[in-house]
């Protein structure tokens, strides 16, 4: 059928049809969700059920024991994590010390005079001492430094 101007009227097309279907589905989901909420709210209201005193005491004791067990598990997990952290720190410290010793030995191979100076400092301390106490002299070190 042609329009009065001779053109074919535009049909809504598949996009308009899909958009209408989507709107219908959204409305249906909202209605169902609202109904389910109303049903579940009525079904699970707090009825304030009270137990006999002995039964209530046993329930309270059971809940207390459950809480104590959970706290014990948490404390055990904390101790395991703390111990693991301490062990990892010791391993990292040992690896760092090993790397530092390796770098120091590499530096001493490159500069034997510094090795001798550090040896004297380690033996004498910061105040210094008489090199004859060590059974030697500083002649070799001083000769190396004067070059």
Q: What is the pLDDT of residues 15-35, one digit of tens each?
A: 665 666 667 766 666 666 666
Q: Mind listing the pLDDT tens digit for each residue in 131-146?
A: 666 656 666 666 655 5
pTM: 0.37
Compute the residue count for the chain. 147
Q: Which residues of the chain have pLDDT under 70?
A: 1-22, 25-48, 126, 128, 130-147
């Amino acid at each position: 059928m042609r329009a009065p101007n001779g053109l074919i009227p535009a049909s809504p097309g598949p996009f308009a049809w899909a958009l209408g279907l989507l709107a219908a589905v959204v409305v249906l989901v909202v209605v169902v969700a609202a109904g389910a909420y109303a049903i579940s709210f009525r079904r699970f209201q707090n009825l304030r059920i009270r137990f006999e005193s002995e039964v209530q005491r046993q329930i309270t004791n059971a809940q207390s024991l459950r809480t104590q067990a959970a706290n014990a598990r948490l404390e055990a997990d904390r101790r395991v994590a703390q111990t693991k952290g301490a062990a990892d720190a010791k391993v990292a410290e040992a690896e760092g010390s090993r790397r530092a010793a390796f770098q120091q030995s590499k530096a001493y191979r490159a500069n034997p005079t510094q090795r001798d100076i550090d040896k004297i400092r380690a033996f004498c301390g910061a105040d210094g001492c008489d090199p004859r106490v060590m059974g030697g002299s500083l002649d070799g070190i001083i000769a190396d430094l004067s070059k």
